Structure 1
Amino acid sequence: MNFHQFLLVLLARKRILLFTLLITVGATMVVSLLLPKTYKGTASLLINYKGVDPVTGLALPMQLLPGYMATQIDIISSKNVALKVVDNLRLAENPAVVAQFNEATQGKGTVRDWLADLLLAKLEIVPSRESSVVDISFKGNDPQFVAVIANAFADEYQKTSIQLKVDPLKKVAVYFNEQTKLLRDSLEVAQSRLSKYQQEHGIVSVDNRLDVESNRLNDLSAQLVAAQGQAMEASSRQRMAEGNAGSDSPDVASNPLVQNLKLSLATAESKLAEMAQRLGRNHPQYESLNAEVERMRRELADGTRVTSNSVSKNAGILQQREGAVRAALAAQKDKVLELNRTRDEMGVLQKDVESAQRAFDIASQRFSQTRIEGQSEQSDISLLNPAVAPIRPAGPKVMLNTLLALFLGGLLGVGFSLLAEMLDRRVRSETDLSDLLQLPVLGSIDWSAPTRPRLNRFKSLLPRSLRLN
């Protein structure tokens, strides 16, 4: 069927089309006029989801997600908010409402849930496209009631939003409080261990004490080196003093007593030699001088022996000193090693204390911040425009319903016309014959139905100016 055939069908079935259109439009207008007037109350909320937290001053990246606005709309239209509206306005305590509930549900369920469902069914939430404003609208027959319900939803949504933010923080604050107590106990245990260890080992300051003992160890090491050198030198002198009766020992040679004795002996021996040339060996003066020389020799030998013995004793003293310094050095090494071990053990205890202190400080800071946030009643939602009782009804819209009825009636009329044509198919043009018989059309006769007598009689009664040819 082409467009020409479609127009011919509509023209032939114009009565069905017009009848359907008139019925649809008429029924719509009658229903629109008979329906009760409905009013719409709207409250506007500003959701500042791109701001910062008024308590902590931190940005809120979670609220910058694309689904944040959709989440807020779901919260507004939640049954939790609707139940709070019912409780706040005490709608379930109205006897008329209770009677309607019993009549509608035969007493099944609760009045609060039934009222919440009814309110949500008439609630409309429209977010703005280019801003953070959300309109909460409620429709009803009473203008005062719709305004009250819209404002109640806006108010309960603000309270619910604060509650949803504060309740988790309160639970977290309780958790942090418990953890803070546990961490405080751990810190006290670590500090007591450190104090007990310091008392047991008599430690006031490990670092300063270790520095003193290390310096003492270095001093003893230097003293040991010096004592070893002195002991080696004394041993060499001792060996030289003991060999050849100490004649080659520089200590013996440099002794003043030995030098004086040697000088006196040399003088006496020279005198004895001179006297031996002049006097005989049996001469009393020669024997007296010879006895003096022997006495000086004995004194020189005694002096040399005493000096050698003093060198040996000095070597023994230096060796003893070396041994004492070596023992003191070994004891100091053990002491420094013990201090190093003590410092390592004390360092572990100090690290335990520092770790416990750090964990306690972090938990205390988070507990303080969470507790402050949990006690905050600040909200990023503010009421922009409260709902007022509307003056004009929002429905029914007679003009809009009529236009929609015209469109719908036209579609129904076209559909019924095509259905009637399919049930009673007729030839409307040459194209219908050509399509039906599959033969070419050679000619057509222009014929019109004769005018009915009643119509001609009616035309004769009309003036000439109103008559149709």
Structure 2
Amino acid sequence: MTLQQFLLILRARWKIALLAFALTVATTVVVSMLMAKQYTASAAVVVDVRSPDPVSGLMLQGMMAPGYMATQVDIINSDRVAQAVVKGLGMENSPAIQAQWREATQGKGQLRDWLASLLQKSLDVKPSRESNVISINYTGADPDFAAAVANAFAQAYIDVNLDLRVAPARQYATFFDEQTKTAREKLEKAQQALSDYQQQNGITSTDERLDFETAKLNETSSQLTGVQGQTTDSQSKRSSTKADTLAEVMQSPLVNGLKADIARLEAKLTESKVNLGANHPQIQRTESELGALRAQLDAETRKITSSIETTYQVSKQREAQLQGALATQKARVLVLNKQRDELNVLRRDIESAQRAFEIVSQRASQTNIESQTNQTNIAVLNPAIAPPAPSKPRVFLNVLVSVFLGTLLGVGLALLLELMNRRVRSTEDLVEALELPVLGAISSASGMFKRTAIGVSA
């Protein structure tokens, strides 16, 4: 269809199109005038997504997520917030509302749920695109009631949002309180076990006692080493076949003096035998003195060797005593080492229980503070006020829309009627209908008559 055909159709059926247009506009005006007036009150709340947690001081990464604002809008539209609004406004206590509920539902269900559903139908929540402000719009027949409901939704949203943050903290607080009691009991048991072990073994200071016993063990070991050396030396001297070669014998002043006297008398005796003869009384006296000196030398040598034997026996006894004392001291040091190891285990148990108690206690204290907080990152930016003018119906806007729709309806109706009863209104219609070329066109007689009438009158 060409533009010329379209205009010819409109010219032919303009009355029907105009009638449809007029009926549409008139109906819209009448309905708009008869519609009940609706008032929209708007309350604005701001969500501070960059505020740190008031207890921990940390930034909550969840607030920076792209879906955070959408989540807040869903919370405002939730049944929980709507039920909180019903409770806050005391709508359940109104006899008129109760009568309406019984009439609408025959008493089925809950009145609060029914009222919350009605409020949600007239609620419109719009987040700002470039800011953290959320507009809460409520439309109602009474401007004051609409403002009250919008403000109630804003306050209920703040309360529910706070409760959503505090409720998990309360649960965690109860959990951590129980864990704190358990951790405290474990710490007390560990401390009691250490105290009982110290009392049972009479331990006051393990490190000092162990150091003393270890030093005593080292001293006893040193003494045993020295005595063993003396015993070995005495044993080697005992096994010597020549007593006169012993160091004690050779270093004795008395033995050396006796040996010198014996050597002197032997020299004198040898000289006297040459001069006096073997039977001379002087020689006999000298031989008698020489025998006495030799006997004294032998006696002194035996004393020295006897003292070596005595020293050996004493060293052996001392060595045996020191070996027993060393074994006893080793056993005592081993017992102290075992006690120290057990004490270290008990102390590590106490340290572990102490760390666990401190961590759980700190977490319990934090969650307890969080469960009692009344701070939130949401605030009312602009409270709703009673709107002075109704928001619905919008007569002017409805008329503009009806003009557009009436025009479309009129044109569409004209085209529909034309398609149902097709007429030839131009040469293009003949070409399309007969598929034959047009040789000429004759103007309509009405046009000729009009031009003739004009000429005669002139």
1:151-162 to structure 2, matched below 5 A, reads 151-162=151-162
**Amino acid corresponding to residue 28 of structure 2 in structure 1:** T
Superposition deviation, residue 372 in structure 1: 0.7
Residue 201 of structure 1 is matched in structure 2 by 201
Residue 345 of structure 1 is matched in structure 2 by 342
1:125-144 to structure 2, matched below 5 A, reads 125-144=125-144
Superposition deviation, residue 34 in structure 1: 1.0
Secondary structure at the aligned position of 1:45 is classed as strand
1:414-429 to structure 2, matched below 5 A, reads 414-429=411-426
Distance (whole Å) between structure 2 residues aligned to residue 412 and residue 230 of structure 1: 135
**Amino acid corresponding to residue 179 of structure 2 in structure 1:** Q
Residue 239 of structure 2 is matched in structure 1 by 239
Superposition deviation, residue 317 in structure 1: 3.5
| Structure 2 gaps, min length 5 | none
Superposition deviation, residue 178 in structure 1: 0.6
Residue 25 of structure 2 is matched in structure 1 by 25
- Return the match for 2:301 from 301, 304, 326: 304
Secondary structure at the aligned position of 1:57 is classed as coil
Residue 189 of structure 2 is matched in structure 1 by 189
1:332-371 deviations in Å (ceiling 9; x for gaps): 4444333333333322222211111111100000000110
**Amino acid corresponding to residue 166 of structure 2 in structure 1:** V
Aligned CA distance change for structure 1 residues 448 and 81 (closer, same or farther; 3 Å): farther
Distance (whole Å) between structure 2 residues aligned to residue 127 and residue 141 of structure 1: 24
Superposition deviation, residue 329 in structure 1: 4.0
- Return the match for 2:437 from 411, 423, 440: 440
Q: Are 1:399 and 2:399 an aligned pair?
A: no
Distance (whole Å) between structure 2 residues aligned to residue 229 and residue 449 of structure 1: 160
Residue 124 of structure 1 is matched in structure 2 by 124
**Deviates further, 211-220 or 401-410:** 211-220
Residue 367 of structure 2 is matched in structure 1 by 370
Superposition deviation, residue 403 in structure 1: 1.1
Superposition deviation, residue 164 in structure 1: 1.6
Aligned CA distance change for structure 1 residues 282 and 375 (closer, same or farther; 3 Å): same
Superposition deviation, residue 233 in structure 1: 3.3
- Calculate the aligned-residue CA RMSD, in Å: 2.7
Superposition deviation, residue 50 in structure 1: 1.6
Distance (whole Å) between structure 1 residues aligned to residue 327 and residue 119 of structure 2: 93
Secondary structure at the aligned position of 2:239 is classed as helix
Residue 146 of structure 1 is matched in structure 2 by 146
- Return the match for 2:382 from 366, 375, 385: 385
Secondary structure at the aligned position of 1:441 is classed as coil
Distance (whole Å) between structure 1 residues aligned to residue 2 and residue 314 of structure 2: 140
1:103-122 to structure 2, matched below 5 A, reads 103-122=103-122
Aligned length: 455
Aligned CA distance change for structure 1 residues 452 and 193 (closer, same or farther; 3 Å): farther
**Deviates further, 318-327 or 166-175:** 318-327
Superposition deviation, residue 225 in structure 1: 4.3
1:26-81 deviations in Å (ceiling 9; x for gaps): 11111111112111111111111221122332211122222221221122122222
Aligned CA distance change for structure 1 residues 230 and 432 (closer, same or farther; 3 Å): farther
Superposition deviation, residue 239 in structure 1: 2.9
Aligned CA distance change for structure 1 residues 137 and 288 (closer, same or farther; 3 Å): same
Distance (whole Å) between structure 1 residues aligned to residue 97 and residue 143 of structure 2: 18
Aligned CA distance change for structure 1 residues 252 and 381 (closer, same or farther; 3 Å): same
1:134-283 to structure 2, matched below 5 A, reads 134-240=134-240, 243-244=241-242, 246-283=243-280
**Amino acid corresponding to residue 293 of structure 1 in structure 2:** L
Aligned CA distance change for structure 1 residues 345 and 5 (closer, same or farther; 3 Å): farther
Q: Are 1:95 and 2:92 an aligned pair?
A: no
Secondary structure at the aligned position of 2:114 is classed as helix
Superposition deviation, residue 220 in structure 1: 4.3
Contact 1:45/1:383 (8 A) holds in 2: yes
Secondary structure at the aligned position of 1:247 is classed as helix
Secondary structure at the aligned position of 2:108 is classed as coil
Distance (whole Å) between structure 1 residues aligned to residue 73 and residue 100 of structure 2: 30
Aligned CA distance change for structure 1 residues 263 and 155 (closer, same or farther; 3 Å): same
Secondary structure at the aligned position of 1:376 is classed as coil
**Amino acid corresponding to residue 204 of structure 1 in structure 2:** T
Distance (whole Å) between structure 2 residues aligned to residue 216 and residue 411 of structure 1: 117
Q: TM-score, structure 2 length as denominator?
A: 0.91
Aligned CA distance change for structure 1 residues 251 and 106 (closer, same or farther; 3 Å): same
Distance (whole Å) between structure 1 residues aligned to residue 449 and residue 21 of structure 2: 28
Secondary structure at the aligned position of 2:245 is classed as coil
Distance (whole Å) between structure 2 residues aligned to residue 58 and residue 13 of structure 1: 74
Contact 1:237/1:251 (8 A) holds in 2: no
**Amino acid corresponding to residue 263 of structure 1 in structure 2:** A
1:87-132 deviations in Å (ceiling 9; x for gaps): 2222122222222222222333333222211111111111111111
**Amino acid corresponding to residue 119 of structure 2 in structure 1:** L
Aligned CA distance change for structure 1 residues 334 and 14 (closer, same or farther; 3 Å): farther
Aligned CA distance change for structure 1 residues 200 and 449 (closer, same or farther; 3 Å): farther
Superposition deviation, residue 326 in structure 1: 4.3
Secondary structure at the aligned position of 1:41 is classed as strand
**Amino acid corresponding to residue 146 of structure 1 in structure 2:** A
Distance (whole Å) between structure 2 residues aligned to residue 336 and residue 290 of structure 1: 67
**Deviates further, 247-256 or 433-442:** 433-442
Contact 1:75/1:81 (8 A) holds in 2: yes
Distance (whole Å) between structure 2 residues aligned to residue 145 and residue 448 of structure 1: 71
**Amino acid corresponding to residue 149 of structure 2 in structure 1:** I
1:225-249 deviations in Å (ceiling 9; x for gaps): 4444444333333333xx12x1221
| Structure 1 gaps, min length 5 | 460-466
1:396-441 deviations in Å (ceiling 9; x for gaps): 1111111111222222223222222221122232222222222222
Residue 462 of structure 1 is matched in structure 2 by none
Superposition deviation, residue 25 in structure 1: 1.2
